[in-house]
Each structure stands twice: as structure tokens, then as C-alpha cells.
A and B are shown apart, each in its own frame.
Chain A
Amino acid sequence: MTHPALLDPDRIAMVAKGVSAIVASRNAGLRPSVMRAVGSHIRADGGRVTVFLRRSQSVQLLRDIESTGQIAVVFSEPSTHRTLQLKAPQAQVRPAVPDDLPQLQAYLRSMQNEVGQVGYGPAYVAAMLAAPLADLVAVEFTPTAAFDQTPGPRAGQPVKPLQP
């Protein structure tokens, strides 16, 4: 409650509906790692974000997050290119649980709709986001920085925190 809210309701809503989410970190030698999330969730006040990754697809990335805590996630709406990047220095990894499944299913449906608008069918999106529970982990973080990354010369501008 002491933190001013980082994200305005519009940006929270964009993340909440389920859009493309790409997760990055780095190792001790500053080598970057990257993978697409198969699901995401944002708390209603924008103060806590969860991204779901497949362990088998994200070996280096998860090792990096666990060892450095560093995370950057870019959220993008395919049909409009509206893009937001969140960063945090202390992300935590936990196993995914059956209670996470409704969020993953909602995410898949939203992505099938979003990606469908740019020409890829539901089967394609389902293959892209296939997420067996046994292979899943959740990565949670409190964003400490946000950047508007909608393509263009202004991309990369920090999002100004809302005043409480």
C-alpha cells in the first residue's frame, strides 16, 4: 500500500484480458535468456503479476530467474501492437497447481481470439501454448518499472507511476 500504483487501469486491463507475454532474464555473466509464457495473470490493482512457463522450454530462463531474481516481461496485443514491458528484480518461482488451470484456460481462449485476428487459427495457438500441468511453473513478481513499448520512436518511455 505504500507503493504508488505503477499501472493505470487501461494497462492493467490489457494484461488482464490475456495477451502475448514474453519473459526474459539473465545469468550472472549477463547473458540473456528468453521464452514465451503460456499464461499470465495480473492482480486487480496491478501490484502482482504471474506468468506461467513450461519448465522443459525454459531451463536456462528459470535457472536465471531463480539465481538472479531479475525478470522482464513484455505484454503485447497482436492486433494493435500495443505493448507494455514490466520489470522486477525479485521474481519468485513456484510450482503450478490445479487452481492455476482456470487462468491458463482463460488465457488460451483470449489468445486464440487475439492471434486469430492476425490470421492464425485456434489449433495453431493451442499448439503454441500447449501447457501440461506437470511441466508448468508459475513465476510471480511485483513490477517495479514499466515501459510503453508500442512500436515507434517513443517506444521505451517509462510509464509514470500514478500518484496516490
Chain B
Amino acid sequence: MSAISLHAIRPCLEGAIPAVMSTCSPDGTPNVAYISQVVYVDAGHVALSYQFFNKTRQNILSNPWASVLVLDPVTARFYRLHLHYQHTETAGPVFESMRAQLAGIASHTGMAGVFELRGADIYAVEHIDEVPGEGLDAPAPRPGLLHALRLCGERLARCTALDSLLQTTLGALQEHLGIRHAMVLMLDPSAQRLYTVASCGYRTSGVGSEIQLGHGVIGVAAREQTPVRISHMTHAALYSHAIRTSLTEAHHAGAALPGMDIPYPGLAQPHSQIAVPIISAGHLLGVLFAESPLDLQFNFEDEDMLVAIAGQLGAAIDLLQATTDSPEVASPAPAAPVVSGAPLRIRHFAANDSVFINDDYLIKGVAGAIFWKLLRDNASQGRVDFSNRELRLDPMIRLPDVADNLEARLLLLQRRLQEHCPHVRIEKTGRGRFRLCLERPIVLEDMPA
């Protein structure tokens, strides 16, 4: 009998060293084979990868008992899992996260193309043997993980606006967890895309770049609402980010709109990646993503940490969205900026609400519609002060009823302007209020669909 828990041997279930599995055919012939993945599902279950219909598979379908030997990649201690086959999953979170991991393992071992997941075989863990042996000393546990989580939590809890919340999150990941390359993407539910609203550690911010739901590590994590973690560089097309969705959309819009593709900011040669869904009150809000140029940078403890942080981030995003409309008086208008210089030509394409400034693409979609409303109201009524509330009520902007992410879209607009048109700014003037600041004359051109 053994008291060891599956949780305690999680380092062995990281795929660093292949596991071996023995089964037995009905005629009594034993079989032993390597398996690519033994994945922790919950305290009583593991998932094994099913890639080929082979002897192991044949055996398990007629005699569901299996014995699996795993090895700790640090202590060289063996553990034996006595398993009973339950069922096979060919879709869903466990399957998708295993499929992503397998693509990483396969490309690392030069076996991309050979390894394709056909199913996630779920097994009940009957018991675990702690195999005696010499072994090596276990490393000291990573110190202060819980404290790091506390520090991150405290910093997040002090944020009062989405902008600072996202920047604080990325800063906290860097300072407390040593994660240098990260981004936050928000879901646009109607377009089924994720757009980058904040990033750190990249050459360009990539704010506004989009990833389709189900594409890449990030898109799969969002679609399946499960963390996806890859420890080795993957070349698998499914998980790469050479995705150019904006171009095809421009084509559908029937207009020649060059340069609408905001480049995705990620590392050109990532070796470790982790994407964690941001969920609040059961709704997917977006994805928290981190990566590294080194192999094996994120283990299950990093995953645990990021899931905890994403949980708090999600709740905070939701709360800030819900409380942004409090009627608060705008701060007194500062001296109006001096409007001078050559006029900016701002074009709006109604087909997809894309906005171009002097032929340079700025933004599209809901954020584009918002920007166009601000500019029109400014031109026709001279208005500069606006509230989130009126944007929510404006039928022209077509915000979805639930989870409108208005704050995130305003932030996206604000960032895009900062990066591409510093003569036009959006400044917060209070909770749920902001001001349009123009330093150049503007000429508006509406291009009907």
C-alpha cells in the first residue's frame, strides 16, 4: 500500500522523460511500450496520449489494466501507477491541451508529423507505488511562490482602472515571477477573435493585433477555456502565429485597405509558451499569455500561479467594467490644446468601421466605430468630453449586450493613437469619462459600405 498522491508526483508528469506502459493481451502476452504523455487530470485520474492503433491500444480495449512507470526528471526516482482505462476523449480541454503539448514535444524531438494525438485516454489511478532506490536529493522547493502570488494579488487589488490593472499585471509577472515576455488579449465575442490590449518585453507593443479563436496556443486556450503550456519550441502550423486574419477581412470589406494587419508582437523563436484563459463569472474575457526564448521555463507551478493571477485579473476586469459608469463630474477642462499644423485626413470605412489617418491604418471594429463617433460629434457640435455611458447607449456603435468590453476597446483606441497619431489623444478625465484632444485640424471622410 502506498500513501503517495498523484499530486506529489506531478514533476514526473511533465513529459520531460518518456513514461513506459505495460499491458496484457487476453491470451496472456504482456506488452511494454513508450508513451509520449502522462498528464495530470485530477487527484484520481491521468490522461495518456493515444496516437496509434497499436498493441497497447488493442490490449487496453480488451483488458483495461495498465501499469505505467514514470521517472522524476530531477531525483531519478521511479513511481509506478496502476491504472484502469475509463474512456477516450477526442475533443475538449484535456484533449486540446495535450495536443498542443504533444506538438511541442514532437517538434523538440524531431518527430513533428509522426506525433499526432488521436485521443486522450482517461485512466483512473488505482494506486501508486513509490519504487525504492537511491535517487538524488530533491531540489529545495522554489522559495516564496505563495508570497509572490500575494504580492501580485496586492498590486492588482489596488488598481482602479483597466489600463493600470493590465500594466500592473504585466509588471508584477516580471518582478515577482521573472516572466519577461507577456501579453493580455481580450475576447471580441462577436468576431470570435482575441485582440492584444497590453504587452511587455517585445520590440513592438502589438496592441490591436488579433488572433482567431482556436488558432495557436492562445486561441486554443481561449476556445477550450483551459491552460495550454508548451515546454519546447513548436513548429507545428496549428500553434504558430503567422496569422493574417485582418487581410482577408479587408478583402471581404470590398475595399482596398492596405496595411490593416497589426503585427503580432510575440517572440520569433519561442521555446516555452503558456496561455491561461481569463474567466470571470463563467465568461471568457481573454487570455493571459507568457513565453520565453528558453526551453522548460514554465512548469506546473507556473501554470498554477498564472491561473490564480488570471482569476483575480478576470474578476478585477469585470468589476472595473461594472463600476465605470458612476456619475462623476469631469475634471475641469485644461486649457484647450493649440490646434495648428497641416490637417489630418481621417477616413472611416463603414463596411468594417476601419479608420485610416493620412492613409495609415489605425483601428477597426467597435473601437473604430467609437473613434468615428467622437470625431463626428466633435466636428458637428464641438464636443470634447464624453462618457462611457453614452457610448454604451449609442446604437451606431453596436456594442454587444453582454460583456461589451467597452473599457478594453477604449484602451485599445487610446494605445493605438499613442503609438500612431500622437496629435490625437484620448485622456481619462474621471471614472467613466474621457476627453478627445486634437492638436491638429482634421478633415473627415466617410466611405459608405
**Is the pairing of A and B real?**
yes
Q: Which A residues contact B (CB, under 8 angstroms)? A: 22-26, 30-36, 54, 56-57, 68, 70-74, 76, 81, 83, 85, 87, 89, 120, 123-125, 127-128, 130, 147, 149, 151-153, 155-156
Q: Is the CB of A36 within 8 A of B134?
A: no
B82 surroundings in chain A (CB, below 8 A): 31
Besides the contacts A35-B80, A151-B34, what 18 more A-B pairs have beta carbons closer than 8 Å? A22-B20, A22-B32, A24-B30, A24-B32, A25-B22, A30-B26, A31-B65, A32-B30, A32-B65, A56-B132, A68-B28, A72-B22, A81-B111, A85-B33, A127-B136, A128-B71, A155-B52, A155-B54
Shortest CB–CB separation between residue B288 and chain A, in angstroms? 30
Shortest CB–CB separation between residue A145 and chain B, in angstroms? 8
Residue on B with the closest CB to A34? B22
Report the interface size for chain B: residues with CB under 8 A from the other chain. Answer: 39
B136 surroundings in chain A (CB, below 8 A): 123-124, 127
Shortest CB–CB separation between residue A29 and chain B, in angstroms? 8
- Encode B2-37 as 1/0 by CB contact (under 8 A) with A: 000000000000000000111110101111111000
Report if A33-B22 is in contact (Cβ < 8 Å); known contacts: A57-B133, A155-B52, A155-B54.
yes
Q: Is the CB of B33 within 8 A of A127?
A: no
Q: Is the CB of A70 within 8 A of B76?
A: no
Residue on A with the closest CB to B81? A34
A-B contact pairs, 30 of them (CB 8 A): A24-B22, A24-B32, A25-B30, A26-B22, A26-B28, A26-B30, A31-B24, A32-B24, A32-B30, A32-B31, A33-B22, A33-B67, A34-B69, A35-B80, A36-B71, A54-B133, A70-B28, A72-B22, A74-B20, A76-B34, A87-B31, A124-B76, A125-B76, A127-B135, A151-B111, A151-B114, A153-B52, A155-B33, A156-B54, A156-B55
Shortest CB–CB separation between residue B32 and chain A, in angstroms? 4
Report if A152-B30 is in contact (Cβ < 8 Å); known contacts: A34-B67, A34-B80, A57-B78.
no
B32: contacting residue among A85, A123, A127, A155, CB under 8 A: A85
A155 surroundings in chain B (CB, below 8 A): 33, 52, 54
